[in-house]
Chains A and B, each alone.
Chain A
Amino acid sequence: MSIPALLHRNATQFADAPAYREKEFGIWQSWTWAETEKEIEALALGLINLGVNEGDFIAIIGRNRPYLYWSMVAAQSVGAIPVPLYQDAVAEEMAYVLGHCGARFVIVSDQEQVDKVIEVQDQLHQFEHMIYLDPRGLRKYDHSHLHQFSHVQKQGRAAYDEFINELKARREKLDYDSTCVMLYTSGTTGKPKGVVLSNRNIIETAKSSSEFDHLKREDDILAYLPMAWVGDFIFSVGQAYWTGFCVNCPESADTMMTDLREIGPSYYFAPPRVFETQLTNVMIRMEDASRMKKWLFDTFMAHARKVGPAILDGKQVSGMDRFKYWLGHLFVYGPLKNTLGFSKVRVGYTAGEAIGPEIFDFYRSLGINLKQLYGQTEATVFITAQPDGEVRSDTVGVPSPNVELRIAENGEVFYRSPGVFVEYYKNAESTAGTKDAEGWVATGDAGFIEPDTGHLRIIDRAKDVGQMANGSLFAPKYVENKLKFYPNILEAVVFGNGREECVAFINIDLTAVGNWAERNNIAYASYQELAGHPQVMATIQDHVEEVNRSVAEDEMLSGCQVHRFVVLHKELDADDGELTRTRKVRRRIIEEKYADIIAALYDGSKEVSTRTEVTYEDGRKGHINATLEVREAAVSAVAAKLAAE
C-alpha cells in the first residue's frame, strides 16, 4: 500500500466528495477526489516527461496550497521522494538541505522561492529543474531550467500515451517499505537531519490515529502549518488520504483567521502560541465591550469554567447547571466559538510545548474538545495522545495505539511503534545513536507514567534533569513552565542540581507589569527600577509561593520548590548568549555569568550587588550595576509525607 494507491481508492470510492479546497479570488475553489487524481496524474506524467527517475529527491517549497500537496503525491507516484522545506528558511539553510539530499528537481510556489534557489544553485551540483506555481514577476527569467507548473501538467497530458504505462509500472512498484517522504528536523543542535519515513510509517500511524479520534470522510481541516513539519504531513496527507477528509488551504497567511472562521474545521491543530494569542485578543476586545456584554461574558465564563469541562467529558452535572450552561451557550459560548472559527471542532490538538492550564481550560470550558499529544518527527508524530474524556493540562496522554513506552533508569522516555522512522538520511551514526537494534527510540525527554491513570507526563529535557542532594528528582523546566504561565513572568531559570534546595532567577514581563504599573499609577524610570519595585517583588513572591504549593502536590517533584529567588535587573537576551535564537534558556552560560548571584542565593545574603555586561543591538557592549534583593519564598509541606503519616 502507498499514498498514491490510497489516492486511487479515494478517487474510486469518494469520487465526488471534496478532497481539497483553496480560497482564491475571494471564493473557495474545490477539487473532488476524482479531479485530484486527474491533476496529480497530469503532473506525474509531466515529471516523467521532464526526466524524473525513481529514487530522485524532489524538494517542495511554499505555503500550504493544493498544488504543492499534489506535487508530493505526484513525486511519490513516479517513484521519487518528496522533501518539503520550510518556506521561510533563508537561501543558505535551503542550500544545505537541497545539497544534502541532492535534489534534482525543486517545486516552488513563487518568485521569492525561485530567487532563493537561484541564489544558491552554484552550490547544488545535482540540481537540474525548477517548477514554479505563480508566474508573477518570472516572465523575464531564463526558462531553460525553469518551468511553470501548469505547463508541466499540460505537457504531461499531451504525453499521456507515451508515459502512462511507465507511470503505472512505477506506481505498482510502491509498497509499504518504499519511502513516503523525507522531512528535515529543524535542528536546534547542529545541522538538520533528514528523517526518512516509509509508507508503513505514515499509513499505519494515520490509520491508528484516525481510529483513535474517530475521524471520518466528512471532516474538514485547515492546512496552515508549515508543510515541512511532520504534523502537517500526517494530518494533511496521511490522515486525509486514509480517511478521505477535505484539506482546506487558506488564501494567504494574513487571511488565516478569516478563512478559519469560514471553513469551521472539525479537526484542528495549533501550537499553544496560537491559542494564547486568540485568548488574549478575546480578552482585549471584551475590555472594550459594553458593560452589559462584559457582565454576560464574565458571568457565563465563570459558570463555564466550573461545569464546562465536566459536561464535555460526559460527567454528572446537575440539571440547573446544565440549564445555565445551555443559556450560556446561547448568549456567549456559541457566538464566541463562531467568531473564533471553532463552532464545529470535534477534535482539537495542541502540542509542541507546555500549554498554560488557564488557556487550556478556557477552550475546554467553551465545549471545545481540545486535547494534548506528544510526539516527534522520528515517531511520525504520535507517541502519546489524550483519549476523549481523559484530558488534563498537565499530562500528554496515554500511549497511542500500537506504541510501546519505556522509561529508562535516568527518566528518559523511549518508545517503539510502527511509526518509528527508517533512518536519518546519509547519517548512520546518528541513526544508531537514536534507535537501537530492537527499534526503541530515545526521545531526549524525561518523564514518567502516572501509576493510577497510565498517562505520560513530560517533565524536562533529559539532559537537564538532575538530582537534589537528598536524592529527589530535579527538573528545572517543570517548575519554570509553571512560573512562566503567569503573565507577569517572562522567563524563569531554576537552579538546584546537586544542592539541598532550589533557587530561581525571574524575569518580569515588561508589557504585562508595565501595563499594571500604568494602571496603578506606579512611576518607574527603567526596567531595572520596575523589576526591583517592592510591589512587583510582592506579586512575584505570591506567584512563586503558589507554584510551590502546586509543585508540592507532586511527590516525585516536590523537592523542586523554590526556596529563594531574585528578580533579575535585565532581561535574558539572545544577544548576550543567555538564550538561543528560539528563546530557549542556556543554563550553563547563565550559571557562569551570574555565579555571584547564585552564590548569594545560597549563602543567606539579604541582597547582592552585581555588575553585568550587556550587548546592545548594534553590537556595542556596556555594563549595568544593580543591587538585587534576595527574597525567601514559603515552601509547602511535601504531600507525600502527609499521605504517608
Chain B
Amino acid sequence: MLDQTEGYTTEDGRKIGGVVMEMKNITLRFGGVVAIKDISFDIREGEIRAIIGPNGAGKSSMLNVISGFYNPQEGEVWYRGRKRPPMKPYQVAQQGIARTFQNIALFEGMSVLDNVMTGRLTHMDSNIFRQAIWKGRAEREEVENREKAERVIDFLEIQHIRKTPVSRLPYGLKKRVELARALVGEPSLLLLDEPMAGMNVEEKEDMSRFILDVNDEFGTTIALIEHDMGVVMDLSDRVVVMDYGKKIGDGTPDEVRSNQDVIDAYLGVSHD
C-alpha cells in the first residue's frame, strides 16, 4: 500500500498532500523503439509537477501514459491508491483527469462558449431525447453547466470572445480556450501538454499566471510538460527530468538545476 499521508510544504507555504498518482517502473515501447525506460515518480495532491527534457526525451509519451491513452508494456500506474487497469479515454475523464494538447484540439467551427460547454459533457445525464424536448432535467442541467462554463470564462478572462468561432482566434487565445475546456470539467488532476509552446513573452506570463491561479483557486493538481526551462522553474513545485526515455533527475527546481546529469543533457558534454 502506498503512503497516502505524508506531504510537504512548499517555499511559499502551500501544503502539499499525499500521493495522487504513482508511476511504478514504467516502460513503453513502440515496436523496437523504447520511448520510456523504467521510470518511476509520483504526483502529489495540490502540487504543480513538471516533466521536462530535450526533444525526443519521451515527455509526451509519459503524459499519454498518465492520461491513460497509452498502456505501458511494463510497470504499473496507481491512481488514488488503486492500481489502474487499461482504460478508455472517457473513463479517464470520469476519474477527474483532464488535459490540453500540444497542438490545439478544439472544434474550430464552434464558438468558444460551445467548446467550453463540451467540457461538461461527462457531467450531463440527460439523453438526446430529453435534450431535444428541453424540459425539466435537460433544462436544469444546461443552466447549471452554463453557469460553470461562465465562471471559467470569467476566470480566464475570455468574455470578449465568448461568441466568437474558435477558427477566428489567434493562437494564444486558442490555448486559453483549451485550458478553459479542460477546467470546466472540474478535474482533480489537470494535464497540460506544452501550455506555452509558440507563445510570446507576454502570453507566457499570462498563461503562467492562469496556471498558478487555477492551482491556488481550485486546488487542482497540475502535471505539465514544458520546453521553456525558465517558466518551468518558476512555476513548478517538483520537476522530473527525462532524457532518451530515462529519468535523469527528480526534485525541486533548485535540486534539478544543480544536478550534473541534467546540466549535461541540456548543455551537452564534450567527449575529450
A in complex with B: yes
User: Is the CB–CB distance between B13 and A252 below 8 Å?
Assistant: no
Is A255 part of the contact surface with B, judged by Cβ < 8 Å?
yes
Sample 16 A-B pairs with CB under 8 A, ordered by A number: A24-B154, A25-B153, A25-B154, A26-B113, A26-B159, A27-B150, A136-B155, A136-B213, A137-B209, A137-B212, A137-B213, A137-B217, A140-B13, A251-B159, A252-B157, A258-B160
Question: In the assembly, what is the distance between CA of A254 and CA of B160, in Å?
Answer: 6
For A17-58 the 0/1 string (1 means CB < 8 A from B) is 000000011110000000000000000000000000000000
Is B12 part of the contact surface with A, judged by Cβ < 8 Å?
yes
Residues of A within 8 A of B (CB): 24-27, 136-137, 139-140, 251-252, 254-255, 258
User: Is the CB–CB distance between A136 and B159 below 8 Å?
Assistant: no
Other-chain residue from B12, B147, B155 in contact with A140 (beta carbon distance below 8 A)? B12
Beta-carbon contacts under 8 Å, B122-153 to A = 146-147, 150-151, 153
User: Is the CB–CB distance between B217 and A136 below 8 Å?
Assistant: yes
Measured between C-beta atoms, what is the minimum distance from B232 to chain A in Å? 20
Chain B residue with minimal CB distance to A135?
Answer: B217
Beta-carbon contacts under 8 Å, B103-120 to A = 113
Measured between C-beta atoms, what is the minimum distance from B39 to chain A in Å? 33
Chain A residue with minimal CB distance to B113?
Answer: A26
Measured between C-beta atoms, what is the minimum distance from A531 to chain B in Å? 33
Interface size band for B: 20 to 34
Chain A residue with minimal CB distance to B150?
Answer: A25
Instruction: Please report the number of residue pairs spanning A and B whose Cβ atoms sit closer than 8 angstroms.
Output: 37
Measured between C-beta atoms, what is the minimum distance from A238 to chain B in Å? 29
Question: In the assembly, what is the distance between CA of A25 and CA of B217, in Å?
Answer: 17
Question: In the assembly, what is the distance between CA of A255 and CA of B159, in Å?
Answer: 7
- In the assembled complex, which residues on chain A have CB atoms less than 8 Å from the CB atom of B255? none
Residues of B within 8 A of A (CB): 12-14, 113, 146-147, 150-151, 153-155, 157, 159-160, 162, 209, 212-213, 216-217
Chain A residue with minimal CB distance to B213?
Answer: A137
13 more CB-based (< 8 A) A-B contacts, given A26-B150, A140-B216: A24-B154, A25-B151, A25-B153, A26-B113, A26-B153, A26-B162, A137-B212, A137-B213, A251-B159, A252-B157, A254-B159, A255-B160, A258-B160
- In the assembled complex, which residues on chain B have CB atoms less than 8 Å from the CB atom of A254? 159-160
Question: In the assembly, what is the distance between CA of A24 and CA of B150, in Å?
Answer: 8
The A contact surface, by secondary structure, is: loop
Chain A residue with minimal CB distance to B155?
Answer: A136
User: Is the CB–CB distance between A25 and B147 below 8 Å?
Assistant: yes
Other-chain residue from B113, B159, B213, B217 in contact with A252 (beta carbon distance below 8 A)? B159
Question: In the assembly, what is the distance between CA of A258 and CA of B164, in Å?
Answer: 12
- In the assembled complex, which residues on chain A have CB atoms less than 8 Å from the CB atom of B213? 136-137
- In the assembled complex, which residues on chain A have CB atoms less than 8 Å from the CB atom of B216? 137, 139-140
Question: In the assembly, what is the distance between CA of A258 and CA of B159, in Å?
Answer: 10
Question: In the assembly, what is the distance between CA of A258 and CA of B146, in Å?
Answer: 19
Chain A residue with minimal CB distance to B12?
Answer: A140
Question: In the assembly, what is the distance between CA of A92 and CA of B151, in Å?
Answer: 34
The 4 tightest CB contacts between A and B, nearest first, are A254-B160, A25-B150, A26-B150, A255-B160
- In the assembled complex, which residues on chain B have CB atoms less than 8 Å from the CB atom of A136? 155, 213, 217
Chain B residue with minimal CB distance to A253?
Answer: B160
Question: In the assembly, what is the distance between CA of A156 and CA of B91, in Å?
Answer: 48
Measured between C-beta atoms, what is the minimum distance from B38 to chain A in Å? 38
Question: In the assembly, what is the distance between CA of A251 and CA of B158, in Å?
Answer: 11
- In the assembled complex, which residues on chain A have CB atoms less than 8 Å from the CB atom of B153? 25-26
Question: In the assembly, what is the distance between CA of A26 and CA of B148, in Å?
Answer: 11
Measured between C-beta atoms, what is the minimum distance from A281 to chain B in Å? 15
- In the assembled complex, which residues on chain A have CB atoms less than 8 Å from the CB atom of B14? 140
Q: Which of B13, B162, B212 has the most CB of A within 10 A?
A: B162
Measured between C-beta atoms, what is the minimum distance from A261 to chain B in Å? 12
Chain B residue with minimal CB distance to A138?
Answer: B216
User: Is the CB–CB distance between B162 and A139 below 8 Å?
Assistant: no
- In the assembled complex, which residues on chain A have CB atoms less than 8 Å from the CB atom of B113? 26
Measured between C-beta atoms, what is the minimum distance from A509 to chain B in Å? 27
Chain B residue with minimal CB distance to A251?
Answer: B159
Question: In the assembly, what is the distance between CA of A378 and CA of B151, in Å?
Answer: 42
Question: In the assembly, what is the distance between CA of A137 and CA of B215, in Å?
Answer: 10
Question: In the assembly, what is the distance between CA of A139 and CA of B15, in Å?
Answer: 13
User: Is the CB–CB distance between B217 and A139 below 8 Å?
Assistant: yes
Question: In the assembly, what is the distance between CA of A258 and CA of B160, in Å?
Answer: 8
Chain A residue with minimal CB distance to B163?
Answer: A258
